[in-house]
Amino acid sequence: MKVGYIQTSPIFGEKEINFDQVTELTFKVKADLLVLPELFATGYTFISKKEAESLSEGLDGQTAEFLKSLSKKTSATIVGGFIEKEKEDLYNSAMIISDSELLGVYRKLHLYYKEKLWFAPGNRPLKVYEINGVNIGIMICFDWFFPETARSLTLLGTDIIAHPANLVLPYCQKAMTTRCLENRVYGLTANRIGREIRGEDNFNFTGESQITSYDGKVLSSAPLDKVSVDLVEIDIEKARDKKLNKFNDIINDRRKEFYLR
């Protein structure tokens, strides 16, 4: 299976320009799964909820239509972030599209910093999508900080965690080697680059998008300051074998009766 990330440098509020950047980066790209960053079409550093709302969309908006087109062009299942509006609430969400069809939407469970001022916390259970025999789960950016997210997706049967991100803390890329190792799943972290200075905030995004193997090895790491696309062939069956050795199975060995809930 061929999987990859698309590392972008979005311009705040300029959806069409950001779509064009992705189109250029994916020229002639063919894959089975591609992951885009969190909020890849809008930028991240909002100064008010009203501003975030002005860039929000429903499930039939510009971003959905663009990702359907990208899915068709690349032959890939696509996971990408957007601002979802439902009634009066905004969500930091990611949609999953395959064969030009919207399969579902994940809403970020763990909001970081001022996201709590603009977005409602995710209110839907974690879910795994089975596409052509492969199980794909989604988490967004700061969700990585909570190991329960990746473990829950693993218990649901995921083979690959698609991880759209706008990372500003310096820890995630290294931590994903542990997340993938402790769950024996693949991870596709699609980060962005660039700097956004808006209002009181000055964010420098860390790049280094990463494909992490079920055994904790880094299969691909993007530059920290350049837009980038990379693809890697992976063996899904490796993620389905939860045995660390002939005596230890990381799922069956759990001592749930001693864990706090």
Tens digits of residue pLDDT in 239-248: 999 999 999 9
Distances (CA, A) of 222 to 14, 70, 208, 217: 24, 21, 4, 15
Give the pLDDT confidence score for residue 154 in this predicted structure: 98
Q: Contact 190/37 with Cβ under 8 angstroms?
A: yes
Tens digits of residue pLDDT in 178-216: 999 999 999 999 999 999 999 999 999 999 999 999 999
For the residues 218-223, what does the mean pLDDT come to?
A: 98
Other Cβ atoms closer than 10 A to 135: 19
Tell me if residue 130 falls in helix, strand or coil. Answer: strand
Active site residues: 38, 108, 141
| Domains contained in the chain, number | 1
> Domain range spanning residue 70?
2-258
Please tell me the distance from the alpha carbon of residue 180 to that of residue 216, in angstroms, as a whole number: 6
Give the pLDDT confidence score for residue 209 in this predicted structure: 98
- CATH number for the domain including 132? 3.60.110.10
Give me the amino acid identity at 178.
T
Give the pLDDT confidence score for residue 261 in this predicted structure: 76
pTM above 0.85, yes or no: yes
Tens digits of residue pLDDT in 111-148: 999 999 999 999 999 999 999 999 999 999 999 999 99
